[in-house]
Amino acid sequence: MRLTAGTPSRLGASWDGRGTNFALFSANAEKVELCLFDGQGRRELERVELPERTEDVWHGYLNDVSPGQLYGYRVHGPYHPEHGHRFNANKLLLDPYARRLAGRLVWSDAHFGYRAGSSREDLSFDRRDNARGMPKAVVVDETFNWGRREMRPNIAWEDTIIYEAHVRGLTQKRDDVPPGLRGTYGGLASPAMIDHLKRLGVTTIELLPIHGLIDDRALVERKLVNYWGYNTLAFFAPEARYALDNPLDAFRTTVARLHDAGIEVMLDVVYNHTAEGNHLGPTLSFRGIDNASYYWLKPDNRRFYDDFTGCGSSVNLAHPRVLQMVMDSLRYWVEVCHVDGFRFDLATTLARGPNGYDRNAAFLTAVRQDPVLATVKLVAEPWDLGMGGYQVGAFPSQWSEWNDRYRSAIRRYWSGEGSLIGEISSRMTASSDLFHHDNRATRAGINHITVHDGFTLADLFSYNEKHNEANGEDNRDGSSHNHSTNCGHEGPTDDAAIVALRRQLRKNQLACLMLAQGTPLVLAGDEVGNSQNGNNNAYCQDNEIGWVGWDNLGKEGEDLTDFIGHLTGLRRRFGQIRCQRWLDGRRADGSYGVLWLTPAAEEMKESDWKFPEGRFLSYVLGPMEQGQEPIFIVLNAAPEEIAFKLPKMTNYKSWHEVLNTTENPAATPDFAAGADMKAPPRSVLAFAGSA
């Protein structure tokens, strides 16, 4: 028989070498039809009603369907938005478990379940067929030859240095990447890029979303695209726009080559909302399959969505089948694609229950016990836009979290704000006030100065105001609170003093990032002074605004690649920076974890922390084990030179300068303990103790 019941045990389209099993969850559907298309996705060849329903999974097995077959679903059921149901069998729907997409979404009013423009969508059911403009799912063969050499690098958390990058933006303007590979998965693993990553000393590349996505209609009408990719429609399919041919194999080949180079691959994943938007959005997949199950709906009016994300809707992981989809997706990327970790966008939404964020939510509990996810890195963006959404420090011990408190404090400090040395001391020592609880380690905080969202490092010291006019939203989008400084001139300048100051401040920020305890994250392009011309929200700029500009690569003074390489080398040399144990002060036996010192090299008292407008901070991180060197760190954010003494420490007679961020650092001989020194204006210094 051609059509049999098949199995509900594996959702999606599963080819077994002889035929394909199709399974789709919908608790409220009345009938599910599988639609098979020709190789171009233009003509619907056949509709097959799935014959069985088991625990709300509709399923069937076709013994003549093989890899390459294009398909979609039509799901029958009630169209009652006021009750949360938005079924419309006139709309072809994408399989939530699609492993590959064929074609792009071509926008038209036919994609909406109601007559677009109607004031009441529940009164205007739309009967137009949208199949011609819909991407189709593709049956795939998941087998792949990883080769004998491929092994996950398994970088320890204490050694991890993350490099956040966009697949296209990283290599699109890189001349030493072959033209055919620029902007693709393959470009990430080109010899030139691997060599660059190794020079930097980073261990882990974190990719902005690569799950199958669509471009918002409003952006397309403005001739823009959803460049960053936070508009997911397919949680199992690598985005095809970054591949020359088969995106799944192209991505896995890239992972294998990066692993061969000892570099981990993390994915930024967006499970908090989908591309379907709010109640007036299109019906493309989840909304038409089972709206009431997949999304958080307003309990008092189920026509509308509970929107914790700012994107119109929120995915309901409190539902067991929706949770299953997310967990299946995560395991798929680990087991089938060998990724090494995930950064979860707006992670608070994933852990919401009826009463808000819940540290024991179903999602966090499922992750905690999962043996596959126990082997990878998990990073939360610990906030969303809902009530009680800011949860920095509140995730379980298995997780690390983006530490925006580090970003804010360190930006304010180097932009010239005083009276911050107390907070800076905490941010430079793993933010124990936020993360030192529940057996968490210092790696809990992901320190960052810049990320995709906001100013680049160069723009942070070139602009006082955002300049997002190219986005077509009258400069209303993007944050207006950037803690930036233009150093006396808005935008580019030929003033040598301003150029030098900006370069100095960039180096100071990078130095603090690598000398701080916690896990550092570097934004791609910051090493070469990449600018977005003051645009702090380049989410729609798939062009030279959003791409990394490599013009300064190799340019003396502007290319900080080797400077960062030196900093990552210091981080490897001084284990107390990477140590996963929390620091303490002076111990009974005279040893110490950290000593906070005045410019006179005396241990700081309460009054010293309250020094008016204080901008100078110095401290020693003591050896954590036998034979380890202490490191003395000096941060001078003052606009003037400040005199200080090198500390006198038991067993250490001299100090050797290992870092000086000034433009023309002096020679670096050994200095006697107790020697008088001067910290140049706006500088970071570091010294290693010598016996």
142 is catalytic: no
- Quick one: CA torsion of 554, 662, 668, 525, rounded to 10 degrees? -30
DSSP labels for 85-152?
Answer: EE--TTS-B--TT-S-EES-----GGGSSB-TT-S-GGG-B-----GGGS-EEE--------TTT---
Identify any residues that bridge with 595 across adjacent strands, giving them in sequence order.
Answer: 620
Give Cα separations from 663 to 120, 205, 501, 505, 666 (angstroms).
Answer: 64, 30, 9, 11, 10
Amino acid, res. 616: F
> For 516-611, where are the alpha helices, taking DSSP H only?
561-573, 575-578, 606-609
Amino acid, res. 309: T
DSSP 3-state assignment of 67? Answer: coil
345 is catalytic: yes
DSSP 222: T
Task: Tell me the C-alpha distance between 475 and 195, whole Å.
Answer: 38
DSSP 210: -
DSSP 345: T
Q: Name all contacts of 48-53 with Cβ < 8 Å and 24+ positions apart.
A: 48/3, 50/22, 50/24, 51/3, 51/4, 51/5, 52/5, 52/6, 52/8
Phi then psi for residue 43, to 5 deg, are: -120, 125
Closest listed residue to residue 393, CA positions, set 405, 376, 377, 409: 405
Q: Residue 442: CB partners within 8 Å, gap ≥ 6?
A: 430, 435, 517, 518, 579, 580, 581, 582
Strand order in the sheet with 631-636: 594-597, 616-621, 631-636, 683-690, 654-660, 670-672
Task: Tell me the C-alpha distance between 231 and 345, whole Å.
Answer: 11
Strand order in the sheet with 136-138: 44-49, 31-37, 70-76, 136-138, 101-102
Amino acid, res. 457: L
Token pair of 241 as six digits? 């726009």
Q: Which of 44, 340, 345, 404 is catalytic?
A: 345
Q: Which of 290, 307, 381, 527 is catalytic?
A: 381
| Residues with a known catalytic role | 345, 381
